[in-house]
Amino acid sequence: MSAERQKAHAAAAALEYVEHGMTLGLGSGSTAEIFLRLLGERVKEGLDVKGVPTSQRTAEVAHEAGVPLIEVDHVDQIAVTVDGADEVDGRFQLIKGGGACLLREKIIANASDLMVVMVDESKLVDTLGRFPLPVEVDRFGFSITARQVYEALKRAGVKSPDVQLRRKGDGLDPLITDGGHYILDCACGAIPDARLADQHLKAIPGLVEHGLFIGLARVVIVGEDMEARVMEL
């Protein structure tokens, strides 16, 4: 069965967490887009929600799907953020940022009463780190920051980190995030202690945010071939 089918099952199950009148954090990525289109159908049927998008792309898809948006700085409370992830471990720790939206995704998830994560089965891991960890950095002095990211990951127990500047599809120009930053993709193989890595990375001056989401997700929905499995902490 395809990952797409599993993502669709997860997205449909995530709708169960949406209630009339809620302000929602709208995640980014292909699973989040499936969710948005399903949400748009509910809105057409009369569901009253507003969304705070975590990327320009999500804002565009929400607009197409008919999901009303609200300016992030006009929001008092976000009830639920619904988002995808690149990896999830057994403690609901995540790697995010494959779509380069991790900064806004983390701001919104952290400000939400509840974060619901939707994944297909391929995203479940015992130890985070098979997916290269995205790290968002200021463009100024990024090669200095990249060396410090390497050192921080080594101190956190990653054996041989490989830190690479993410480039656009043409392979030439660096990718620029919605916030105007670069992304460093850090191939780790395994991150033995995600909390320690978080602490070491956060101490680097040019580092804007990293893709380890620790203690944020309370619900993980795993799309399977025939249905979705809902896990709550």
Nearest residue (CB) to ligand 5RP, 143 versus 164: 164
Site membership for ligand 5RP, residue 161 (CB under 6 A): no
Give the range of 23-31, 73-81, 149-157, 170-178 binding ligand 5RP by CB under 6 A: 23-31
Candidate ranges 59-67, 82-90, 142-150, 166-174; the one touching ligand 5RP (CB under 6 A): 82-90
* Catalytic annotation, pick one of 105, 151, 209, 232: 105
Kindly tell me which of 34 and 49 has the beta carbon lying closer to ligand 5RP: 34
DSSP 37-71: HHHHHHHHTT---EEEESSHHHHHHHHHHT--B--
For ligand 5RP, which residue of 80, 88, 102, 221 counts as binding (CB under 6 A)? 102
Q: Which of 6, 9, 29, 166 binds ligand 5RP (CB under 6 A)?
A: 29
The region of 18-26, 91-99, 145-153, 184-192 touching ligand 5RP under the rule CB under 6 A is: 91-99
- Give the C-alpha separation, 193 to 9, whole Å: 31
Residue 105 appears among annotated catalytic residues = yes
Q: Can you spell out the DSSP letters for the chain?
A: --HHHHHHHHHHHHGGG--TT-EEEE--SHHHHHHHHHHHHHHHTT---EEEESSHHHHHHHHHHT--B--GGG-S-EEEEEE--SEE-TT--EE--TTS-HHHHHHHHHTEEEEEEEEEGGGB-SSS-SSPEEEEE-STTHHHHHHHHHHHHHHTT-SS-EEEE-B-TTSSSBP--TTS-EEEEEE-S--S-HHHHHHHHHT-TTEEEESEE-S-EEEEEEE-SSSEEEEE-
28 lies in the site for ligand 5RP, by CB under 6 A = yes
Cβ distance to ligand 5RP smaller for residue 27 or 40: 27
15-23, 66-74, 95-103, 150-158 -> range binding ligand 5RP (CB under 6 A): 95-103
101 forms part of the interface with ligand 5RP (CB under 6 A): yes
Does 96 help bind ligand 5RP (rule: CB under 6 A)? yes
Size of the site for ligand 5RP (CB under 6 A): 17
- Catalytic positions are 105
Tell me which residues touch ligand 5RP (CB under 6 A): 27-31, 83-86, 96-102, 105
